[in-house]
Amino acid sequence: MQTKEEILGKTPEELKKFVTECGMPPFTSKQILKWIYQKRVYDFNQMTDISKNNREKLQQVATIGINPPAESITSADGTEKYLFRLGDGQTIEAVYIPDKERATLCISSQVGCRMKCLFCMTGKQGLQRNLTSAEIINQILSVPNSESLTNIVYMGMGEPTDNLDEVLKSIEAVIAPWGLSWSPKRITLSTVGTRKGLQRYLKESKCHLAISLHSPDTRRSEIIPADKAFPSAEMIDMLRQYDFSHQRRLSFEYIMFAGVNDSTADAEALAHLIKGLDCRVNLIRYHAIPGVALNTASDKNMITFRDTLNKKGITATIRASRGEDIFAACGMLASQQKNARVR
């Protein structure tokens, strides 16, 4: 049986090539994209400005590629975690975080991850494969609260700069006039910092950037092995070459571990490291995962750490933990179904 072509994830040029090869007018591609991204219609039969013959042909040779979450679970704080079952049987997770006027979706870019960060459950399973742009976009379009989303963060499973071609392709579908037409300011990419990937992202995207830092010195390599290939000091030097004072925002994610990186001396070292950068620091409580001998810093140490940074002229906040009871908090996502229930 002939495999149907998946429409989701195609650029206008790719879709135009496909429809013309199928004997349809080139403008059919624009019609299809408008139905998918602007009208949120995922059935060819309902695309009424396309001729009946072409709609029937599309049904035979193509599929939109929208696949709703297979399972979901809701936290006591309103956070929702979705499990997506992919075509090859692999699974990924995405997290919806409602917060007053904001509605953020945390999406995945890979099945698993090869960064092996000490504190991260996703890293424990290793990298299974990259997601396609279609699989990334599907997370955004198919969740129940899709049309109410205000923000997207590439902060789920995987290292986005390790799959940058597909990530940038998915971002284009979100911000382009032919896509969802969002402002780049509504999108944040979180990365541990891979040298070529980070440099390329900074050059090719106008979206926000969040760096997983977690230590102000060489101890970072013990927490984030990728630091050995691209040390944080070199990464900071690279970041100094870019302007973060206007549209794009730079932030540093800093998970606080008791007795590891939560002292006043650590705060002062961090302030020195990022001095002069237009940025903010998000302090995050560590969420325990099995088999890792780390503990979260005390509230007292986190407050002192925040206040030390603020006194040094660096905006720092303590991020409220969301979804920990359903394994949806930072570092807790994995390709597993045991923590989900059917919606």
pLDDT tens for 304-324 read: 999 999 999 999 999 987 656
> Of 106, 207, 279, 330, which residue is the catalytic one?
330
106 is a catalytic site residue: no
> Measured between alpha carbons, how far is 32 from 35 in angstroms, rounded to an integer?
5
Q: Which two tokens stand for residue 82?
A: 């979705």
Of all residues in the chain, the percent with pLDDT exceeding 70 is 93
**Which phi and psi (to 5°) does residue 298 adopt?**
-70, 160
Residue 323 confidence (pLDDT): 58
Tell me if 245 is assigned to a ligand binding site.
no
Give the C-alpha distances (Å, rounded to integers) separating 272 from 102, 220, 301: 33, 16, 19
Residue 289 confidence (pLDDT): 83
Tell me if 213 is assigned to a ligand binding site.
yes
CB 162 within 8 A of CB 114: yes
Give per-residue pLDDT as tens, 136-165. Answer: 999 999 999 999 999 999 999 999 999 999
Torsion angle of the four alpha carbons 262, 264, 266, 268, in this order, in degrees rounded to the nearest 10: 150
Instruction: Name the packing angle between helices 299-311 and 264-273 (round to 10°).
Output: 40
Tell me if 113 is assigned to a ligand binding site.
yes
166 is a catalytic site residue: no
Q: Which two tokens stand for residue 215?
A: 């230590």
Q: How confident is the model at residue 291 (pLDDT cuts 50, 70, 90)?
A: confident
Q: Is the pLDDT of residue 330 over 80?
A: no
> Measured between alpha carbons, how far is 340 from 338 in angstroms, rounded to an integer?
6
CB 105 within 8 A of CB 140: yes
> Of 93, 135, 166, 253, which residue is the catalytic one?
93
Exposed/middle/buried for residue 193 (C-beta within 10 Å: 0-12, 13-18, 19+)? buried
Q: Is the pLDDT of residue 270 over 50?
A: yes
Q: Is the pLDDT of residue 333 over 80?
A: no
Number of H helices, E strands in the chain: 11, 14
Residue 338 confidence (pLDDT): 41
Residue 148 confidence (pLDDT): 96
Give per-residue pLDDT as tens, 197-244. Answer: 999 999 999 999 999 999 999 999 999 999 999 999 999 999 999 999
Q: Is the pLDDT of residue 290 over 90?
A: no
Residue 102 confidence (pLDDT): 94
65-84: average pLDDT: 94
Tell me if 212 is assigned to a ligand binding site.
yes
Rounded to the nearest integer, the mean pLDDT of the chain is 93
Tell me if 87 is assigned to a ligand binding site.
no
Residue 339 confidence (pLDDT): 41
59-66: average pLDDT: 96
Q: Which residue has the tokens 């800093």?
A: 254
DSSP-derived pairing of the beta strands 250-256 and 280-285: parallel
Q: Is the pLDDT of residue 337 over 80?
A: no
